[in-house]
Amino acid sequence: DKITTGPLPEHYEPIESPIDTNPLHPSVVSDPTVRIYKEDREFIGSNKDFPYVATTYRLTEHFHSWTAQSALNIIAQPQQFVEIGEKLAAEKGIQKGDMVKITSRRGYIKAVAVVTKRLKDLEVDGRTVHHVGLPIHWNMKALNGKGNRGFSTNTLSPSWGEAVTQTPEYKTFLVNIEKAEA
């Protein structure tokens, strides 16, 4: 029989949570029915080592990775970037255009910093939580020498997922971010 989370929706923190509790359900932090393989357990990051939440997303102009090779998309977005809120960027000494290294327990990528007002820090259970945004489109070879090949954002994301749909926690996982060494 298939394990499911139950008949009613419940909020659980992701396996890699920026806080150490579940404010809505303190006795159970993460989903007890999560699908996680034994060999993946060594790749779980802690918020002490990886204090920032990352989320992956697609850009309006892109469809999966296919359109990353479109000449018009290469013109519009020629280089891999990471969105960082102004407050986090100031704390880390990161300026727009700086090359930064984003690291999770599973690996790292490098990208250009886009410092933005869009991403605000949150106060969650008495802690300030910062997050960064990671578009997913730069892991392919550049088209006819145009555009810049980047890193696979999935290098950072976990493979475990919730029990019902088996969807991995690509949308919320922990990272650290710092200026990249030249």
Choice among 24-33, 108-117, 122-131, 173-182 with the minimum mean pLDDT? 24-33
* Between residues 93 and 31, the one the model is more confident about: 93
Note the pLDDT of residue 89: 98
pLDDT digits (tens, 9 = 90+) for 110-131: 999 999 999 999 998 888 999 9
First to last CA, the chain: 53
- Which residues make Cβ contacts (< 8 Å) with residue 143, sequence separation at least 6? 69, 70, 71, 74
pLDDT at 35 over 90: no
Note the pLDDT of residue 105: 97
Domains of the chain: 38-179 (2.40.40.20)
